[in-house]
Structure formats: C-alpha cells, structure tokens
Structure 1
Amino acid sequence: MRLNEVVYDDAEPIEGYGAGFFRIGGKKHPAPVVTGGLGTRPWGGYEDTQVLLDMTGEVDVLFIGTGTDIAHIPAALRQTLEEAGVGVEVMSSPAACRTYNVLLSEGRRVAVALLPVE
C-alpha cells in the first residue's frame, strides 16, 4: 500500500469538533462557523446568509452541517443559495466535516457551514 501526504491548497481541513467548537487548521473556533477557500469565520446560523453568499463563484458545493443530527434547513435559505449558483448539501455536522475534508483533499472547490454538536 502506498500512502500519500495530503496537501490542502487554499483551505484548511477540519481536525476535530466538540460541544460548541470546531478545530480548523490548528485553531479552535466557536461554533457556528463557516470555512472554505475564503478562510474561516463565524457564522450567525441560518439567518446569516451574506457570509454564505460571499462564496458565490468560489465554491461549487456548500455543505451545511445541521448539528448532531440531520435536519431540514429553511426553504428560503436553500432557494437563496441555489439562485446565487451555490450547490447545497445538508447533513449532520460530523458528516459534513468528513465529507468536506475528503473533497478538499481532492482539490475540489467546497466550503462548509457548521452548527454546533452537543
């Protein structure tokens, strides 16, 4: 078996998470948070659409982590993002972290917005 070191070009991987925080690129960030090629920054939750719309043209897919369990996002949020050309995939925050890291390691243009886990 051949092992290759993963190199992240533009964004930082998610290294871990716990109740109320995510560890991204070696730093602990309070949740909710959004991260991708434009960096890591706080996110105000479903009502904070501007930080997500700032990614228009920068990402092909935005993963939205809904916390410990998968949940529906507001229809208006999905519609706003899709009309702006941002693909949206909703899943639990742990699943969103894993999926984001895998696609990021493949060089894909992805970002993730995460609500805290319990």
Structure 2
Amino acid sequence: MSSGMIIREAHFPGRAPIDAYGNGGFRFAGMSHRGSILCLPSGIHGWQPSDPEDLREEDLAKVLAEAVGIEVLLVGMGRDLRRLPTPLRQTLRDAGLSADSMSTGSAVRTYNVLLAEERAVAAALVAVE
C-alpha cells in the first residue's frame, strides 16, 4: 500500500468572485490558490502559461474550448498592462471572443463586477507577487 501524495489538477467546479490577489496567488470561495488561474464557465482552474509575458494560443486552449459560453475574456497580464500578441488576439476574435488585456488587479475588479451582473465573462489571470 502506497502512502504517496496524490497531486490533482487545481479546479474549483463553480463560478466565484475573486476575494483577493497578490503574494503569487488568489483567494476565492474560501480557498487560496498559489499561481495563475483561469476563471471559466466550467469553474476556476489552476493555470500555468508557458511565458506570462508572451501568451500563446496553447496557453488559452482551455478558454478556446469553452468559447461558446463566453462573451468577454479579461486577461490579467500581471502587474503591468501588456497587449496580447496580434496572432493570439486574432485567434480569440475568430473564436467569437472579445478579449481585453489589462493588469491583473484591473482584471480581477472587472471580472467581479461582470460576474455580479451575471454576464458571460471569463478571465485568464497571471499571478502577481
């Protein structure tokens, strides 16, 4: 009998506002998560983009898979505002997503407001220290 630790993919199966962010993670639904997250119709998922400063289509594959249930995608790019790469913006547009990049703090605040309004919002949030 093995007593090894089992590590599962981080996933909260519901929609919840983000209560706090910083120190490399997020708090929501009475829990905390260290690292970046995706807030999607299917729930809140742990997320590890390959390069948070240069997002690619592969980084947002889970978002694209759920694009039908999303009107607005907020992308929290970390502490500072950075534009999404043009090819990625086009891929998201082709999937019918309106994507807005901003600092993670701005994205968290906007996500919470749109979620409270019961809008079809999703967020890709890069953790900040």
What TM-score, normalized to structure 2?
A: 0.78
Q: Are residue 32 (structure 1) and residue 36 (structure 2) matched?
A: yes
How big is each residue's C-alpha offset from its partner over 1:15-60, in whole Å with a ceiling of 9 and x where there is no partner? 1011210112222122221013210112232231211202211110
Which position in structure 1 is the counterpart of 2:95? 84
Which position in structure 2 is the counterpart of 1:73? 84
Q: Are residue 13 (structure 1) and residue 24 (structure 2) matched?
A: no
Query: Could you tell me whether the CA contact under 8 Å between 1:67 and 1:117 is conserved in 2?
Result: yes
Q: What is the distance in 1 between the residues matched to 2:84 and 2:113?
A: 23
For 1:17, the aligned partner's letter is Y
Residue 62 of structure 1: SS of its match in structure 2? strand
Which position in structure 1 is the counterpart of 2:68? 57
Higher helix share: 2
For 2:29, the aligned partner's letter is G
What TM-score, normalized to structure 1?
A: 0.85
Number of aligned pairs? 109
Query: Could you tell me whether the CA contact under 8 Å between 2:35 and 2:48 is conserved in 1?
Result: no
Residue 113 of structure 2: SS of its match in structure 1? helix
Q: What is the distance in 2 between the residues matched to 1:19 and 1:76?
A: 31
Q: Which has the larger radius of gyration?
A: 2
How big is each residue's C-alpha offset from its partner over 1:69-99, in whole Å with a ceiling of 9 and x where there is no partner? 1111221211111101111011100000000
Q: What is the distance in 2 between the residues matched to 1:109 and 1:73?
A: 21
The CA RMSD over aligned residues, in Å, is 1.3
Q: In the alignment, which of 103, 110, 121 is matched to residue 99 of structure 1? A: 110
Unpaired runs of at least 5, structure 1? 1-9
Extract structure 1 runs of 4+ deviating beyond 4 A: none
